Amino acid sequence: MPSGLELLSLSPPGWGGVLLAGLMASLQLAVGGYLLGLVIGIGGACGKLYGGPILRDLLEVYTTLIRAVPELVLILLLYYAGTDAVNQILLLLGFATVDISGLAAGIFVIGVVQGAYSTEVLRGAIKAVPAGQIEAARAYGMPPLLALRRVILPAMLPYAIPGLSNLWLIATKDTALLAVVGFSELTLVTRQAAGSTKAYMTFYLAAGVLYLLVTLMSNIVIGFIERHARRGMPRTV
Amino acid sequence: MSEETSALPAYIPPKARSLFEPHRLFLMAVFLVIVFCAICFMRWDWLPRYGGRLAYGVWQTLLMLFCTAGIGFLLAVPIGLVQVTGPWPLAWLARIFCTIIRGTPLLLQLWLLYYGLGSLFSQYPEIRSSFLWPYLRQAWPYGFTALMISFAAYEGEVMRGAFAGVPRGELEAARAFGMSRFTMFRRIWLPRAVHRALPTLAGETVLQLKSTPLVATITVIDVYAVISRVRQDTFLTYEPLLLLALIYLCLTGILVAGFRLLENRIPARGA
């Protein structure tokens, strides 16, 4: 029976390399899902603030539903429904069905869930921008997308960053739920390593340390971004 | 100069809308058609057979939610308090506890407790022969502990902010009345902090409800586990999951409405 540290070594008798590969998969999922969620969030926030009545109501239903149902259930539903839907559409269009990679399906699931939360965060942040600034952009004759890119997004960033950084931390932890549908990210890999070596404590603690490192490093980076976005703003206590 | 240089409408803040505007009626009709199709074209014949088990699962989920949230909140009060006013070793300890629990996924903590601690316990004959062993051999104590610790850590952070946010003048007034430290805490500081934290507490409790299905991964029987059983028995993918989503939707709605009732009972100065 090898000791704890030997089990964590990077070369094959140890499982360290496998754990790190799992961590990379988790990070890919988190980054991809977070970015997709951000895109959905920007669209959703603009739709909720400036869209027509039907779009507004539909977006309200989307954010309410997603935020009221457990992520685990959503992941199961979207993971199967999403891959099924793509294959049905492909069949309808006369193409052969494809095997959708777990990574793409996982990013889709995390993105849809994150999109609902970031819609709310960004909507609040856009509303916090003084209305005069957005009106000034319109007075200069900027088309909506240019006004969004040049004025609304940069101006709302300081208000959005606390919420968005929280969402990033939630995204990194939500990736663990994909272990339940059998996607081999850090938590599932840890479970497999622990199960086959019977060194449960060693591996779960090691995975915990890895997750914690990701969180702590994220906090440092978020601090830099926040300082950059808040430059020139009055200091809050 | 033409009059129509800019066709962009100004931003009009959304008005309070009534439920029966034409587009809403249309959306409701579409929604009803979808529900009708779901009832007609999907298979629901398994529902009567599992009704009793589903009710038991919902009861287990609610029991898990309220017990862990209640005890977790009792733990969160000292965790928040020592971070505001406690001696520095305790404050540091509380902060490290919050950081670790909030920085790792709940699923990992759950599996660490169940598989890790569980396998550790079974190696010691002293524990195996103790009166606790019949409980430690089951899954629910581990699920309960993990959920409780997680709630305590998240809520401890909220309570820290709430304790720090109570205006100093109110505490000084309490001291001026000659209240002892404990009386001041019991009569002024804690009620005011809980009042301030109540909206966040409602949100955290909904989050806790959404975490409870994770305990099904360590073989605790809650409503999620019952639905998984249905899926294995009937080979249906969507119908049980849709029902499960509906159940959680209702539970969340009831929880939010209950907290709103509680918030409205506390008199606040209207602005």
Tell whether B112 is within 8 A of chain A (Cβ): yes
In a domain, A237, yes or no: no
Chain A residue numbers touching B259 (CB-CB < 8 A): none
CB contact under 8 A, A215 and B103: yes
| pLDDT over 90 (residue A79) | no
Tell whether B169 is within 8 A of chain A (Cβ): no
Tell me the HSE value of A179 on the side-chain side, using a 13 A CA sphere. 24
| pLDDT over 50 (residue A202) | yes
In a domain, A196, yes or no: yes
Q: How does pLDDT run across A81-113, given as a tens digit for each residue?
A: 888 888 888 888 877 777 778 888 889 989 999
Across the interface, of B27, B100, B102, the residue whose CB is closest to A57 is B27
CB atoms inside a 10 Å sphere around CB B70:
11
Identify the closest residue of chain A to B97 by CA–CA distance.
A212
CB contact under 8 A, A204 and B24: no
Q: Please, is B40 exposed, middle or buried when counting C-beta atoms within 10 Å of its C-beta (0-12, 13-18, 19+)?
A: exposed
CB contact under 8 A, A201 and B120: yes
Chain B residue numbers touching A176 (CB-CB < 8 A): 105-108
Q: How does pLDDT run across A140-154, given as a tens digit for each residue?
A: 999 988 998 899 888
CA distance A185 to A25: 5
Across the interface, of A72, A73, A208, the residue whose CB is closest to B112 is A208
Q: Which regions in chain B score pLDDT beneath 70?
A: 1-17, 268-271
In a domain, A236, yes or no: no
Domain holding A37, by residue range, is 4-229
Mutate to test the interface with A, among B98, B104, B217, B259 (most CBs of A within 10 A): B104
CA distance B106 to B109: 5
Cβ contacts from A onto B, under 8 A: 131
- What pLDDT, on the 0 to 100 scale, is given for residue B2? 45
> For chain A, how many structural domains are there in total?
1
Q: Please, is B9 exposed, middle or buried when counting C-beta atoms within 10 Å of its C-beta (0-12, 13-18, 19+)?
A: exposed
Tell whether B214 is within 8 A of chain A (Cβ): yes
Chain A residue numbers touching B206 (CB-CB < 8 A): 68
Tell whether B124 is within 8 A of chain A (Cβ): no
How far is residue B146 from each of residues B81, B106, B117, measured CA to CA in Å? Answer: 22, 8, 12
Q: Which CATH number covers residue A141?
A: 1.10.3720.10
Q: How confident is the model at residue A199 (pLDDT cuts 50, 70, 90)?
A: confident
